[in-house]
């Protein structure tokens, strides 16, 4: 049914874990069969993307979760690909803003988030790599909030849900579980 379909774009700076989180979502959702071999970096489809770890062309994949089909769109993060970003933002229902728990929001994050806000999209913030030494998730949440204010986010956009994750370990939740830090 069409009401059980969601289109979500993932926004992330280089090396913040977008490819890893998509790979884990595909694995954990059972999208691929148990005996099916799936290469890492499924969404990095061309050689330059694989080599440099960047997204040049928007592309999508889908997972099933409960009774929902979720289309996940990988978005280019660089201003040089602004037309591609605008096209993606006009097609999705929401965005996952993936931010590194040490670095916080970076320039690519700002550019694409601004495009999302221009399309009245409400973000879901995912703080990734919370299990790394030196992670500072509370500071990152404050930085994300400040970024949103600076970009002119609406009150609704400022009331964003937060998910804490260790994409590498395939773990995510609404709270940081202390045992994650011992992985």
Average pLDDT of the chain is 79
> Domain boundaries in the chain?
2-182
DSSP letter at 122?
P
Q: What residues contact residue 38 under an 8 Å CB cut-off, 6+ apart? A: 23, 26, 27, 32
**Segments in the chain forming alpha helices (H):** 18-28, 47-52, 82-89, 107-118, 137-150, 155-158
| Residue 46: per-residue pLDDT | 58
Any catalytic annotation for residue 78? yes
Taking residues 17-32, what's their average pLDDT?
72
Any catalytic annotation for residue 13? no
User: The pTM is what?
Assistant: 0.80
Segment 26-58, tens digit of pLDDT: 777 766 666 555 555 455 555 655 555 555 455
- DSSP three-state, residue 75: coil
Any catalytic annotation for residue 115? no
- Band (109; pLDDT cuts 50, 70, 90): confident
Q: In whole angstroms, what is the distance from residue 96 CA to residue 6 CA?
A: 12
Most confident of 10-19, 70-79, 85-94, 138-147: 138-147
| Residue 74: per-residue pLDDT | 79
Tell me: pLDDT of 16 over 90: no
Nearest by Cα to 177 from 160, 161, 164? 164
Q: In whole angstroms, what is the distance from residue 175 CA to residue 164 CA?
A: 6
Q: Residue 172 has which token pair?
A: 């995510």
Looking at CATH, the fold of the domain delimited by 2-182 is given as: Rossmann fold (3.40.50)
Q: In whole angstroms, what is the distance from residue 87 CA to residue 83 CA?
A: 6
Segment 123-141, tens digit of pLDDT: 999 999 998 899 999 999 9
Tell me: pLDDT of 98 over 50: yes
| Residue 41: per-residue pLDDT | 47
Given the residues 16, 18, 24, 115, the one annotated as active site: 18
In whole angstroms, what separates CA 20 from the centre of its chain? 10
Any catalytic annotation for residue 15? yes
């Amino acid at each position: 049914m069409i009401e059980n379909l969601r289109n979500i774009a993932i926004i992330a700076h280089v090396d913040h874990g977008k490819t890893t989180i998509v790979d884990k979502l595909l694995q954990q959702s059972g999208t691929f069969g148990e005996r099916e071999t799936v290469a890492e970096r499924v969404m990095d489809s061309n050689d330059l993307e694989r080599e440099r770890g960047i997204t040049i062309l928007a592309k999508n994949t889908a997972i099933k979760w409960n009774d929902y089909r979720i289309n996940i769109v990988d978005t280019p993060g660089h201003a040089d690909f602004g037309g591609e970003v605008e096209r993606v933002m006009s097609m999705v229902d929401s965005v996952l803003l993936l931010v590194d728990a040490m670095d916080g929001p970076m320039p690519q994050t700002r550019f694409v988030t601004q495009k999302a806000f221009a399309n009245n999209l409400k973000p879901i913030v995912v703080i990734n790599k919370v299990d790394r030494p030196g992670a500072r998730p509370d500071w990152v949440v404050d930085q994300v909030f400040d970024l949103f204010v600076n970009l002119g986010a609406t009150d609704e956009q400022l009331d964003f849900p937060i998910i804490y994750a260790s994409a590498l370990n395939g773990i995510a939740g609404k709270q940081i579980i202390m045992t994650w830090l011992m992985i």
